[in-house]
Amino acid sequence: MKYYLIAGEASGDLHGANLMRALQEKDPQAEFRFWGGDAMSSVGGTPVRHIRDLAIMGFVEVLAHLRTVLGNIAFCKHDIAQWQPDVVVGIDYPGFNLKIEAWAHKHGYKTVHYISPNLWAWKKGRIKGMRRTLDRLCYILPFEEKFFADNDMPQAVYVGHPLLDAVKSFQETALPYTDKPIIALLPGSRRMELKNSLPLMVQLAQQHPEYRFVVAGMSLLGESQYCKYIPTGSNIDVVYDQTYSLLSQAHAAIVCSGTATLEAALFNVPQVVCYRANPISIMIAKAVVSKRIKYISLVNLIADSPIVTELIQEDFNAERLGREFNLIAADESNRERILHEYADMRALLGDGGASSRAAQAIIDIIR
């Protein structure tokens, strides 16, 4: 069967690759055409667009790149029509994928969305369109079950969180930093996130020569994007595309909010979560996000408890970051509390197998 998959970010590329492998196990004749990154390309099939050209986030940022976004949507529709797949699978990336899935459904294609958008947090109105245009919605957070049951979404199915599979299959690569405890710096996967978070992370590192700070870099952003913020001769190194190896050896971490917060927790690394964005984007987000949402990090959201500290916008400053860093790096009682609560949070996620369950849901829809 022919599978057209669309991932627009690094996390989607990772989960897309594991989904493709699971589809191959169940359908040895599987053909793939996809939007994704190097991880999906390593599985096989025909790449159409690379994630380096797609990762745009934030209201202001999307408006600034509106012509590019609209051009990609038009091209994607044309490409699907030319290839005639058995199913169109959107992997997260809802702003783009939900539009493509609605068009695909209208034109007679089976549609599946893997990794539901956070409808319980904002844009709940999307569910009406998704109910009409999706043959299957695969969601990954356990607390979403009640939301979809309450909102009459029978095609929604819980598959579990794909990060459990990704961490379980990880093969560690030794890093050449053994003289001091390693502090992982995860500044995000987009250039704007680097600009907003890495300078403060570097400032923190310069105040703590007793640690070795290592940035989880992404080669798709380019080495120059990191060098502009990191002074030569500092106690800061950058490793590219080795985030899991870094986390497996880290004593603590400073993490830009996103999927990486859950990854750090699954590797049992005490962390401080930080996030700073365009003030206008934040203002709009505050206006539309549900008032019931108390946290931004996946760790705290899943646990519904403040396991890790979140420093957002003005709270993400040098003084506050330094104080919170000491609590995760040197305060043993606080570190033990975090690790204990990580274990409770992990239990809520259950076992792995999300990729296999999602693959089966996709195949069942086609058949």
Residue for token pair 């539309």: 288
Give pLDDT tens digits for 7-24.
Answer: 998 889 999 999 999 999
As a CATH number, domain 182-349 is 3.40.50.2000
Q: What is the Cα–Cα distance from 316 to 274, expressed in whole angstroms?
A: 6
Rounded-to-integer distance, Cα 19 and Cα 34, Å: 12
Q: Taking 80 as the threshold, does the pLDDT of residue 64 lie above it?
A: no
Convert the pLDDT of each residue in 307-334 to its tens digit: 999 999 889 999 999 999 999 999 999 9
Least confident window among 21-25, 99-103, 237-241, 277-281: 277-281
The mean pLDDT value of the chain amounts to: 90
- Would you call 116 helix, strand, or coil by DSSP? coil
pLDDT at 97 over 70: yes
- Tokens 């609590």 correspond to 327
Pick the CATH number of 2-160+352-366 from 3.30.950.10, 2.40.50.140, 3.30.70.2190, 3.40.50.2000: 3.40.50.2000
Q: Over 90: is that where the pLDDT of 184 sits?
A: yes
**Spacing of C-alpha 224 from chain mean position:** 23
User: CA dist 287 to 61, 122, 201, 284, Å?
Assistant: 17, 10, 29, 5
Q: For position 189, what pLDDT does the model report?
A: 82
Model confidence, pTM: 0.85
Which residue intervals of the chain bear CATH 3.40.50.2000? 2-160+352-366, 182-349
Is it the case that residue 55 has pLDDT exceeding 70?
Answer: no
Contact 136, 361 (CB under 8 A): yes
Q: What is the pLDDT of residue 60?
A: 45
